[in-house]
Each structure stands twice: as structure tokens, then as C-alpha cells.
Chains A and B, each alone.
Chain A
Amino acid sequence: MKSKLSAWKYVKNNKRTVAVLVTALALSCVAMYAIYVLLITTTDSLRPIMLELPKKVSYASLTGKAYGLDAASFEDNEAYSKAYDEAQEELIRKLKEVPGIDDAIYTQIQGSTYQAVMGGYSFEMPLLEVDQIQGFLDHVGAELVDGEMPKEPGDVLVDETILKNQEMILGDWYYKEWFGETFRISGVIRSKSMACVGVPHGFNNRGWYIVVYNDETTMDLSKILTELGIQLGDGDEIIDSKAYLASYKKDVEGTIDMVLSTIFTIVMTFLAILVLVAYTSFMRNRMNEYCLYASIGYGRGEIYGMILREMILLFGLGLGTGMLLSLVTAAILNALIIEPKGLVGYVFYGRQVLNIVSTYVFLMGILQLPILMNLRRIRTIDAIED
């Protein structure tokens, strides 16, 4: 069997140097993974509210123009209001006839919020009559898991994840810092879409909206309304899946992707510089060794092969150690930060593992530059002694 230059010998006999490089690679891996784990919880956690809930509930606040009403053409405001109410009732009747829409109710809504690691999101919850609450729960697929159904004005049912996220408990005032002692958490519900619902309390609301109980086929409320003859304009507010999806892509995914890319680039640049400097110095210190190999008959290709195998071994060790530590770190982050906040998090993110592996392969590619430059400098011993 033909012998070749061993890559393992250097690694085995230079533990200190190897440890420094492997540690740097491993810690960079952990940094890139941990940051990803923390930031990506934002997109994963907001998905139920922003993408799942609109598949069940949409909201519309329309101006008179949308109904084709011109205020100037009416005698007075009272006449205009009456025409508006009639047009709205007609619209609600038509909406209820659309296949895929279970109900449409004109009612107040209030705001709720969900805080991720990076930024939060406000979303709507309908304020319904007591006898309408069960219908809403049935439609969104929510079940009461603690407390009791609302009975009094101001009683609200809050999703258990929102409760955890906002550090509220059953019986607390709902968002007391915003609403004062107005809304009280009478019960805790659980659903896939993190829906919340309550009973109105006076005029403490975010506005009056047509609340539409849709499904996936009717979640584009703008389209449905247009088909029903509504002329949507600038003054009309439609909160449906399209609006949420646009917001999710731009405000959530777009922002997180940008932040992750920036951080990733910074870490990668730092790592590339560190590794380039370390490797250049490392190779320079071993030049006599390479010259010896050349003198006793090893070709440049064989020497390059050894250097490459060493690099793969070092990067492999760094990556392997880094990945192991990353998974442990992710588990810790999930246990200590993510889960207690009611956020969605995982330990293993395949996409990020792939990103990190690609980064390391790219770094190994960059390192070919100093390696090839130093290979050209290899001489036989006679040249050194000259």
C-alpha cells in the first residue's frame, strides 16, 4: 500500500493550536445557530396569528362610498346614516349567503398583542354578545381549557399562548396598562390560530367592523366584497388574509431575513478574516516541513492533498463540535427563553444547519488562496540552504 502524508499526525500532535482553531470555528457555529434560533421564533410564532387566524376571521370597515353612497346627496346626516345602515345590513345578508362564509356580524373589535423575541404584533379580536361567543369558538376551533365563558360586559377569553406571552393569568385585567380595569380574563382558550374573543364594555374599542367568519376559500375578503358590488377605496379598511400575508412577508419575514443576513455576514466576515490570518501564519510556520517533503520526493500535489485533508479534518471537528454545542444551546434557549414566553421554537433547524455548512465550505474555498500561494513558495532544501 502506497504511503501518503498523514493529516491526522498534525492534528494529533498539535492539540493546542488545533484547539484554538476548532474552538473558533465551533463558537462561530454556535453564534450563528443561536442567533438564528432566537430570531426565527418571531416568524414561526407569528404564523398562527397572521396566517392561520385570517383563514377563519376577517374584518371590514367600509365608508359610504364603498356602498355607492354620496353623503352630499342626502338631506341630512340622519338620512345618510339610515341609508348607510340599510346598505350595511344588505351587505351582511349577502355575505351570509356566500358559500364558505358561516356568519357576518357588525360589532366592536379590540386589540391584542403578541411579543416575539424581536418585535411584536398587534392583532384584532371581536367583541361579541354573550350568546354569540360559543359560535365564534366553534368557528375558529377553540376550546375552553380553564375558567368560564364570558357572562358580563368586559369578560374576555384569551388564548393560553397569548396569556403566557403577556404574563397574564386567569382573573387578571386584560392589558391593564392599555385598557385600565375594563376587560377581565374570565377564561382561557386553546386553538391553532391563537384567537381571542370578548364581550364589549361600553365604547372601549378599536372600532366597529363587519366581522366575517370565513374559511380558506373565502379568506380574500377584498375579492368577495368586490364581487358583491362594493367599491373599495382608500378610506376602507379590510383586514383579511391578503393584508396579513403582505404584512407577514414584509414586516416579519422581510425584517427577520434582513437582520439574520446582516448578522450572518458580520460573523462570517469576522470568521473569514480570523481563519485566513491563522491559516496563513500556520502555513508559514510549516514551510520547512513542506520543503522537506518536496526534497524527499513528495510532489506538490501530495503536499496539497495533506494540507487539504488537514483542513477538512479541522473544519470537520469545528463544525461537528459546533453543531453539537448549537443543539444544546438551542435546547437551553428553548427551555429558558422561548417556551416560557409562549413562543414557537425548535432545537433543530435544517435550513440553518445547511447555511452554516455552506459557509464553512465557502471558507475552505477562500482558504485555497493562501494555500496555493504558499504551495508556490515550496522549495527543496537546497534552495533554503542557498
Chain B
Amino acid sequence: MFEVKNICMIYDMDTDAKTYALKGFDLSLPDKGLIGIIGPSGSGKSTLMYCLSTLKKPTEGSILYNGTELAGIGNAQRESLRRREFGFIFQKHYLVPYATAMDNVLVAAVGKGPEVQKKAEEFLRDLGLSEKEFHKKPAKLSGGQCQRVAIARAMINDPKVIFADEPTASLDHENAFNVMRILKKYSNERLVLVVTHDRSILQDADRIIEMWDGEISR
């Protein structure tokens, strides 16, 4: 799925205080599976994920996604990839505060119509939300429920890759394992990348990448 070659991310390039978030390494990721990226704060794990997901452009190096060089594509193509082939779960759920749980899922959907609506309902049901909760706004849902809505939003288009950045950071233990269970199930058919500093949630991961100071240490 991904072939990363000599990836570098340097911040504040034009100043004396350059910061090397990624220091030039290679990486290969498969088409499916649950891959954990772990490391302390500042290790570059989130930066790596953002580069892979086209949210950031690396300073040097190349990222091939199914043979396509991501650095060489334009903004419209990047947006299309994020829309159709990638799904995102952020640390904060970033749900639209005035929209219902259902609308928050549908906002990411590529198509529209009754089939999409039915699919969204199925996802939310599978994720443990009741019919009544479909029509509630984020303020009326718990943190765990909000994160599950965010997962449903990430999955609605059946993306080839899900990028989850600290998806369990604001959840209690039980919800955190529930979320990881759902992601593990999804990873049986697709690639799921989970960035975290909590090793305990990666017990079912197919591979764990350890990062330290902008490099892969293991």
C-alpha cells in the first residue's frame, strides 16, 4: 500500500533552529492489517501519519501510495484521496457541534441517498449507538459515543486506509478497548494505522513501529 523512501520533515527550514521531525527513513506498509505507531511526544509519529495521509507534504523523500507518488499530485487529487480512500479519526473527535450524530457521519459520505443513510445507521448501530442517539448532538453524547460517531464517519466510505491519531486518548479503559476492537475488525480487510503513546491498546496489532526522535527505532 505505502512505500516510503528516505522521508524527511524539517520545520523552520530558513532559520538556524531547524527542527527535524522526520530524519530520513524507509518504510513499507501492507494493504491490510492493524499497524501501531508508538513513541513519546515529539518522536514524529503524528508527523509520519500526516505525511502518509496527504495532510502534510514531506520536505524530502518520497511516499508511494499504490504506485502513485504523493508529493507529485496536486491539491485536488490529495483532497480526492482523503475523501474517497482515506478515513480519519482524530484525537479530539471534531464532530460538528450543531449536527446530529447521523449528520456528522453523513458529512463525510461521498454519495447521498437512502443507501448511504442506511449504511450510516448500520455503522452507528454496530458501534453501539441506539436509534435515539442517532439524532442527538455531540453535546448530548458521552466522549466514548462521540468517538464512535467519529469512527463511523471515518468508515462511511469504506476507505482503504484509516488513520487514527490517538483515537483512545480521551476515552476510559473500557471504551478504549471497544474502539480498538472495532478497528481491529476493520483491519481484517483494510489498512488501519493507529498512532499512540499507549502500548496497551496495541496488543492485537499486526505490527508495531516504534519511533524515537524522528527515526524508526524498531
Give A residues with C-beta under 8 Å from B. Answer: 1-3, 5, 9-10, 13-14, 288-289, 291-293, 295-299, 380-382, 385
Contacts and interface: CB of A to CB of B under 8 A. Distances in A.
A209 to B, nearest CB: 75
A380 B75 CA distance: 12
Given A3-B110, A5-B107, A296 B88 contact: yes
B91 A297 contact: no
Contacts of B165: 385
Given A9-B103, A299-B79, A380-B55, A292 B50 contact: no
Nearest to A17: B98
Contacts of B75: 299
Contacts of A296: 82-83, 88, 107-108, 153
A297 B55 contact: no
Nearest to B85: A297
A297 B80 contact: yes
A295 B82 contact: yes
Contacts of B103: 9
B87 to A, nearest CB: 8
B10 interface: no
21 contacts: A1-B111, A3-B106, A9-B103, A10-B98, A13-B98, A13-B99, A288-B94, A289-B97, A293-B107, A296-B88, A296-B107, A297-B83, A297-B108, A298-B79, A298-B83, A380-B55, A381-B90, A382-B46, A382-B55, A385-B91, A385-B165
Nearest to B56: A382
A299 B55 contact: no
Nearest to A291: B94
A2 B84 contact: no
Contacts of A298: 79, 83
B98 A9 contact: yes
A385 B50 CA distance: 11
A10 B116 CA distance: 21
Contact of B98 (A14, A291, A382, A385): A14
B73 interface: no
A291 B95 CA distance: 11
Given A3-B116, A296-B108, 6 more contacts: A2-B110, A3-B106, A13-B98, A296-B88, A381-B55, A385-B46
A293 B80 CA distance: 12
B112 interface: yes
B209 to A, nearest CB: 19
Nearest to A11: B98
B141 interface: no
A385 B55 CA distance: 12
Contacts, number: 66
A2 B107 CA distance: 12
Nearest to B11: A386
Nearest to B51: A382
A299 B106 contact: no
Contacts of A9: 98-99, 103
B81 interface: yes
B111 A3 contact: yes
Given A288-B94, A298-B79, A382-B56, A3 B88 contact: no
Contacts of B56: 382
Contacts of B76: 299
Given A13-B98, A295-B55, A385-B46, A1 B113 contact: yes
Nearest to A294: B79
B191 interface: no
Interface in B35-88: 46, 50, 55-56, 75-76, 79-84, 86, 88
Q: Which 6 A-B pairs have the closest CB atoms?
A: A297-B83, A297-B82, A13-B98, A3-B112, A382-B50, A382-B55
B207 to A, nearest CB: 23
B7 to A, nearest CB: 15
B196 to A, nearest CB: 15
A292 B98 contact: no
Given A299-B76, A381-B88, A385-B46, A289 B96 contact: yes
B109 interface: yes
Q: Among the interface residues A13, A381, A382, which one has the most CB atoms of the partner chain B within 10 A?
A: A382
Contacts of A289: 96-97
Q: Among the interface residues A9, A291, A297, A385, which one has the most CB atoms of the partner chain B within 10 A?
A: A297
B140 to A, nearest CB: 13
